[in-house]
């Protein structure tokens, strides 16, 4: 069983990447479980043809954690992908990270954390204790950073590297950095910048995903690119990512950059 997590800056395209990766993996005949770890609960929406499924935390508030069955929280989407949304507290109240902790405990109790690939789609702007739980408690063993060539996206990815490096010393944590995914913004020399960033943090860019209007068109039709435009070059990029993820055996402890070095790196590519 592969247990992978996608982390990155909010709005960078983690959920789009996660959903299309899950769809591509399911087309390989694999049993996939995708868990959305963001209070917005939109990680699995395109796998569910636009449906926002009930979240674990909403059900806990309504029924209590002892009155929840696996059928209440696990839903089958495109290609048989099993979809879960952790959810979070009411806006302005409580800690969303604690919602993730509670969700994992419930899923474990229900025996739901079993699949060929378990994919965690995790909010990455703030790596607090709750959001770091997939890494900290050994749920996610392979972490992929989703970033573009924008400075703040690289900044968030670099911060996540700090968390991975710190957690790699913990006995219960088995997480390692498996690679960097460039979800492009069509910046000049963006691919080269992200490739160098990945090398500088002791990793590699595993896949470059170009920016393409077909992503927005697919989502307006409430589908992943894999389902809506399966013959497109964009779908092929997601299939390449799926193949590389399954073949990947390289796992590294990252070496995060100092902020001054990160800014200097970005400046070298942006100034030209």
> 100: buried, middle or exposed (CB in 10 Å: 19+, 13-18, 0-12)?
buried
- The per-residue pLDDT of the chain, averaged, comes to 91
Q: Does 47 score more than 90 pLDDT?
A: yes
Catalytic residue among 58, 65, 72, 125: 125
pLDDT value of residue 268: 93
Give the tens place of pLDDT for each residue, 174-229. Answer: 789 999 999 999 999 999 999 999 999 999 999 999 999 999 999 999 999 999 99
pLDDT value of residue 137: 73
Instruction: Give the domains, in start order, of the chain with CATH numbers.
Output: 2-270 (3.40.50.300)
Give the tens place of pLDDT for each residue, 80-134. Answer: 999 999 987 666 666 666 778 888 889 999 999 999 999 999 876 655 666 676 7
Q: Does 49 score more than 80 pLDDT?
A: yes
Question: How, if at all, do strands 117-123 and 2-8 pair?
Answer: parallel
- In order, the DSSP letters of 69-131 are -HHHH-EE-GGG-EEEE---SSTTSS-HHHHHHHHHHHHHHHT---SSEEEEEEE-S---TTT
CA dihedral for 211, 252, 243, 222, sign (positive or negative): negative
**Where does the pLDDT of residue 172 fall: very low under 50, low under 70, confident under 90, or very high at 90 and above?**
low
Please confirm, yes or no, whether 9 is among the known catalytic residues: yes
**Where does the pLDDT of residue 145 fall: very low under 50, low under 70, confident under 90, or very high at 90 and above?**
very high
pLDDT value of residue 91: 66
Catalytic residue among 40, 162, 191, 222: 40
Catalytic residue among 2, 9, 27, 38: 9
Sequence-ordered list of residues with C-beta below 8 angstroms from that of 107, at least 6 positions apart, any chain: 35, 56, 73, 84, 113
Please confirm, yes or no, whether 14 is among the known catalytic residues: yes
Q: Does 265 score more than 90 pLDDT?
A: yes
């Amino acid at each position: 069983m592969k247990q992978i997590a996608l982390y990155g800056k909010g709005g960078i395209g983690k959920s789009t990447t996660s959903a299309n990766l899950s769809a591509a993996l399911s087309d390989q005949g694999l049993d996939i479980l995708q868990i959305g770890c963001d209070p917005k609960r939109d990680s699995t929406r395109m796998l569910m043809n636009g449906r926002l499924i009930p979240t674990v935390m909403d059900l806990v508030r309504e029924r209590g954690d002892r009155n929840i069955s696996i059928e209440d929280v696990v839903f089958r989407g495109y290609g048989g992908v099993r979809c879960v949304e952790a959810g979070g507290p009411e806006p302005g109240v409580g800690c969303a990270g604690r919602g993730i902790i509670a969700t994992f405990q419930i899923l474990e109790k229900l025996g739901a954390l079993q699949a060929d690939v378990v994919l965690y789609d995790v909010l990455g702007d703030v790596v607090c204790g709750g959001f770091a739980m997939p890494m900290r408690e050994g749920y996610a063993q392979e972490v992929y950073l989703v970033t573009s060539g924008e400075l703040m996206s690289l900044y968030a990815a670099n911060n996540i590297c700090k968390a991975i490096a710190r957690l790699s010393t913990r006995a219960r944590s088995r997480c390692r950095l498996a690679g960097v995914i460039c979800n492009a913004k069509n910046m000049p020399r963006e691919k080269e910048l992200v490739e160098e960033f990945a090398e500088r943090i002791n990793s590699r860019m595993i896949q470059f995903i170009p920016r393409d209007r077909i992503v927005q068109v697919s989502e307006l039709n409430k589908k992943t690119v894999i389902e809506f435009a399966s013959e497109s070059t964009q779908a092929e990029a997601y299939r390449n990512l799926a193949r590389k993820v399954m073949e990947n055996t390289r796992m590294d402890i990252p070496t995060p950059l100092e902020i001054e070095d990160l800014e200097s790196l970005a400046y070298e590519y942006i100034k030209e």
